[in-house]
């Protein structure tokens, strides 16, 4: 992204302080897509400009902002990145993406034009990251080939000192016959390990949630799953999208859904469908009446990409059998855990301290 585009994008957002699209008390400036720390000089300049402008304009986001990064962690310990962290420490969230054990991580994360995986270059930076951001979690994405490594990978991430593992299955139509059974087996092995080794006290995995696997009433639970259309994604050319998943480089079968640009602003007609999205309007009757609907996620971009027509009102359900498998393993996990806690007389103490981790989908 050229500096001029970044500056114009920031000016556009800050010039519209009172528009409904930006009427939030706080803001997250999220650097995602590609590896942000490759451009640390530009990002430092962008962040300095944001801070100066918030101050100069006496903007209500002054001191109510966060810079958020999803990084592969490879140059996390470089002098420039570390200086940036020191400078912005109080307003930073940084998530390093590490997928689990070396064989799991290196299945998908290979250096360009080589067969070398990046695991070793990432894992050496985990202790420094955890020291600086002990409450951050990592994001793991599961596709068909990854299923056999789920249990060992989550346990490995715990061993590395990462306390929160956000993990989810991809929404694309990649699942083979039998994947749901394999997935359930992996989650039950993981459940046994977490409970038998008392890891549930200090570690969390978003696969296991008490808020999952029940029917949902459209009158009471009708909100959209994600924030597509409630946020603004901006590409290197200065185009606006309802989420980065609607940019051309993220789409498989559809053309990009551009909702404006830094010169002309937001086109409300292009944004409007996103403002009326809810769960039941876009779901099939099977999903509306589903006995285990709670926690069954969707990605708005994948819904659009997989839809028969140019619409965001058609829910993709390739994940269906994986969600049902997850619900079965989840029931096993909570049954086993509560039985153990009852036997040990520790249920009340656990209930008072427990945290639930909502799966991140992107």
Judged by the rule CB under 6 A, the positions of this chain that interact with ligand SF4 are: 286-287, 290, 292-293, 296, 317, 320, 323-324
**Closest distance to ligand SF4 from the beta carbon of 306 (Å):** 13
**Closest distance to ligand SF4 from the beta carbon of 213 (Å):** 9
Among residues 215, 195, 302, which one has the least CA distance to residue 254? 302
Q: Smaller CB distance to ligand SF4: residue 138 or 303?
A: 303
Q: Smaller CB distance to ligand SF4: residue 282 or 317?
A: 317
Q: Smaller CB distance to ligand SF4: residue 188 or 288?
A: 288
Q: Smaller CB distance to ligand SF4: residue 32 or 288?
A: 288
**Closest distance to ligand SF4 from the beta carbon of 208 (Å):** 17
Q: Smaller CB distance to ligand SF4: residue 34 or 215?
A: 215
**Closest distance to ligand SF4 from the beta carbon of 302 (Å):** 12
**Closest distance to ligand SF4 from the beta carbon of 285 (Å):** 9
Q: Smaller CB distance to ligand SF4: residue 77 or 286?
A: 286
Half-sphere exposure of 98 (CA within 13 A, CB side): 33
**Closest distance to ligand SF4 from the beta carbon of 298 (Å):** 8
SS3 for the chain is CCHHHHHHHHHHHHHCCCCHHHCCCCEEEEECCCCHHHHHHHHHHHHHHHHHHHHHCCCCCCCCEEEEEEECCCCCCCHHHHHHHHHHHHHEEEEECCCCCHHHHHHHCECCCCCCECHHHHHCCHHHHHHHCCCCCEEEEECHHHHHHHHHHHHHHHHCCCCEEEEEECCCCCCCCCHHHHHHHHHHHHHHHHHHCCHHHCCEECCCCCCCCCCCCCCCCCCCCCCCCCCCEECCCCEEECCHHHCHHHCCCCCCCCCEECCCEECHHHHHHHHCCCHHHHCCHHHHCCCCCCCCCCCHHHHHHHCCCCCCCCCCCCCHHHHHHHHHHHHHHHHHHHHHHHHHCCHHHHHHHCCCCCCCCC
Q: Smaller CB distance to ligand SF4: residue 6 or 312?
A: 312
Q: Smaller CB distance to ligand SF4: residue 287 or 357?
A: 287
Tokens of 303: 């819904």
**Closest distance to ligand SF4 from the beta carbon of 180 (Å):** 11
Q: Smaller CB distance to ligand SF4: residue 130 or 287?
A: 287
Q: Which residue has the tokens 């009471």?
A: 220
**Closest distance to ligand SF4 from the beta carbon of 182 (Å):** 18
**Closest distance to ligand SF4 from the beta carbon of 276 (Å):** 20
Tell me the backbone φ, ψ of residue 13, rounded to 5 degrees: -65, -45
Among residues 80, 72, 90, 98, which one has the least CA distance to residue 132? 90
């Amino acid at each position: 992204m050229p500096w001029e585009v970044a500056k114009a994008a920031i000016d556009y957002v800050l010039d519209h302080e009172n528009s409904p699209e930006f009427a939030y008390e706080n803001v997250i400036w999220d650097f995602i897509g590609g590896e942000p720390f490759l451009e640390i000089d530009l990002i430092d300049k962008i962040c300095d400009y944001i801070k100066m402008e918030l101050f100069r304009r006496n903007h209500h986001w002054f001191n109510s902002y966060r810079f958020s990064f999803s990084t592969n962690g490879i140059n996390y310990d470089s002098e420039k990145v570390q200086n940036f962290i020191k400078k912005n420490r109080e307003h930073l969230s940084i998530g390093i993406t590490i997928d689990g054990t070396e064989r799991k991580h290196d299945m998908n994360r290979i250096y360009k034009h080589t067969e070398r995986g990046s695991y070793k270059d990432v894992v050496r930076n985990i202790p420094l990251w955890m020291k600086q951001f002990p409450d951050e979690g990592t994001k793991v994405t599961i596709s068909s080939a990854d299923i056999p490594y789920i249990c060992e990978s989550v346990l490995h991430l715990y061993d590395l000192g990462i306390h929160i593992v956000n993990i989810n299955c991809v929404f694309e139509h990649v699942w083979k016959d039998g994947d749901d059974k394999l997935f359930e087996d992996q989650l039950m092995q993981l459940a046994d390990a977490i409970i038998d080794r008392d890891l549930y006290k200090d570690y969390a995995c978003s696969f296991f949630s008490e808020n999952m696997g029940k029917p949902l009433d459209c009158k009471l639970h009708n909100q959209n799953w994600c924030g597509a259309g409630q946020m603004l994604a901006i590409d290197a050319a200065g185009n606006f999208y309802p989420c980065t998943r609607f940019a051309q480089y993220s789409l498989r079968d559809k053309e990009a859904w551009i909702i404006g640009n830094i010169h002309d602003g937001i086109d409300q007609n292009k944004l409007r469908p996103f403002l009326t999205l809810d769960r039941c309007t876009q779901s099939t009757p099977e999903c509306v009446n589903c006995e285990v609907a709670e926690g069954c996620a969707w990605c708005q971009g994948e819904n659009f990409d997989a839809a028969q027509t140019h619409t965001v009102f058609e829910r993709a359900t390739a994940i269906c059998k994986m969600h049902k498998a997850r619900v079965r393993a989840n029931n096993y996990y909570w049954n086993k855990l509560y039985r153990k806690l009852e036997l040990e007389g520790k249920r009340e103490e656990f209930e008072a301290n427990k945290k639930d981790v909502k799966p991140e989908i992107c």
